[in-house]
Amino acid sequence: MTLDNTWFSEIDPAAGTAFSLKLGEKLVEEQTPFQKIEIYQTETFGKLMVIDGCTMVSTRDNFLYHEMMSHPALFTHPDPKRVVIIGGGDCGTLREVLKHQDIEYALQVEIDERVTRLSEEHFPELCESNDDPRAELYFGDGIEWMARAEPGSVDVVIVDSTDPVGPAEGLFNQAFYESVFRALGEQGILVQQSESPMLHLPILAAMHGAMRAAGFVDTGMINFPQPLYPSGWWSGTLAFKDASLQPRYADVDVEKLNTQYYNADVHRGALAIPNFVRQGLSSEVVDN
């Protein structure tokens, strides 16, 4: 919501919290067949994209999310070649994936083409890899695409979605995870944005349980700061077909990746699960 056209505030009534940014000009207001997209110029965070009243991406802090949704999984899979991104219409995750020169193919499946086209106009730095010959942009339903995917054809699936409501609701259940499990190879990894450990622990617990029920033998969590999102602390949930996989820390060449946040030490720390989160997920879900 906006307050007197001067501030944008995302209010979470259930948590009793809000995050606000001082606004400049409204650059875009567009209702697509799927959602309402707004883009503002802010005073301190650059440009801000809002979808259905929720903050999505800003110029200033997007690197935190995009780097952490990409590199930890790619540096845990032993030899990732083929990556599918479900969602990710702003293309920042695609950009990070394609920093890995061994990636042969990266497909982005985004339901709303307008998110990508507006990002190309207002966040061009996130879209600089859209013309990479290894990249493919497909505009359609990610749930349907994954259900039709060739078994064992993908190494890493990244679900870079909005919150589990509206178009993204079907990405947070066992049926979808079963489709992902089938599409992944024997050492395949799924990583999905999973909200705030501080505010949304029941959602995380349900995700871990549904992923294991779908056949994944192990699950984990990465956590990282994200000022733009509720509580300022965000997470990605990992699911593994092979429980023996170990991160390839020695391969993390920060200069080559040109990252702003991610490095080998961040990778190690991000995989640690805080005690209260571990307890919330329960010993039946997280057992290591």
Q: Over 50: is that where the pLDDT of 284 sits?
A: no
Domain span at residue 38 reads: 2-58
Q: Over 80: is that where the pLDDT of 149 sits?
A: yes
Q: Which of 156, 281, 146 is nearest to 220 (CA)?
A: 281
Co-location of 108 and 133 in the same domain: yes
Co-location of 11 and 125 in the same domain: no
User: Which CATH number covers residue 10?
Assistant: 2.30.140.10
pLDDT confidence of residue 4: 59
Block residue for tokens 């802010």: 42
Q: Over 50: is that where the pLDDT of 287 sits?
A: no
Q: Summarize the confidence of residues 168-188 as an average pLDDT.
A: 88
Q: Summarize the confidence of residues 117-137 as an average pLDDT.
A: 98
Taking the C-alpha atoms of residue 214 and residue 210, their distance in angstroms, rounded to an integer, is: 6
* pLDDT, tens only, 2-56: 445 789 999 888 888 899 999 999 999 999 999 999 999 999 999 999 999 999 9
Taking the C-alpha atoms of residue 92 and residue 94, their distance in angstroms, rounded to an integer, is: 5
232 or 165, higher pLDDT: 232
Co-location of 134 and 25 in the same domain: no
pLDDT confidence of residue 250: 66
Co-location of 32 and 174 in the same domain: no
Q: Over 60: is that where the pLDDT of 263 sits?
A: yes
The length of the chain, given as a count of residues: 288
pLDDT confidence of residue 164: 62
Sheet with 233-240: list strands edge to edge: 135-139, 105-110, 82-87, 154-160, 184-193, 233-240, 218-225
Q: Over 70: is that where the pLDDT of 176 sits?
A: yes
Co-location of 36 and 99 in the same domain: no
Give the predicted TM-score (pTM) of the model. Answer: 0.93
One-letter identity of residue 217? V
Q: Over 90: is that where the pLDDT of 163 sits?
A: no
Co-location of 103 and 126 in the same domain: yes
Q: Which of 200, 205, 220 is nearest to 76 (CA)?
A: 220
Q: Summarize the confidence of residues 176-189 as an average pLDDT.
A: 97
pLDDT confidence of residue 260: 95
Co-location of 72 and 51 in the same domain: no
Q: Over 80: is that where the pLDDT of 97 sits?
A: yes
Co-location of 203 and 272 in the same domain: yes
* pLDDT, tens only, 218-262: 999 999 999 999 999 999 999 999 989 888 866 667 778 899 999
Q: Over 80: is that where the pLDDT of 73 sits?
A: yes
User: Which is the catalytic residue, given 61, 90, 155, 160?
Assistant: 160
HSE value, Cβ hemisphere, 13 Å, CA-based, for 236: 29
166, part of any domain: yes
Co-location of 78 and 213 in the same domain: yes
Co-location of 155 and 36 in the same domain: no
Taking the C-alpha atoms of residue 261 and residue 244, their distance in angstroms, rounded to an integer, is: 27
Question: Known catalytic residue: 61?
Answer: no
| 117 — pLDDT class (breaks 50, 70, 90) | very high
pLDDT confidence of residue 165: 54
Q: Over 50: is that where the pLDDT of 148 sits?
A: yes
Which tokens go with 162? 């909005």
Q: Total structural domains in the chain?
A: 2
Co-location of 19 and 102 in the same domain: no
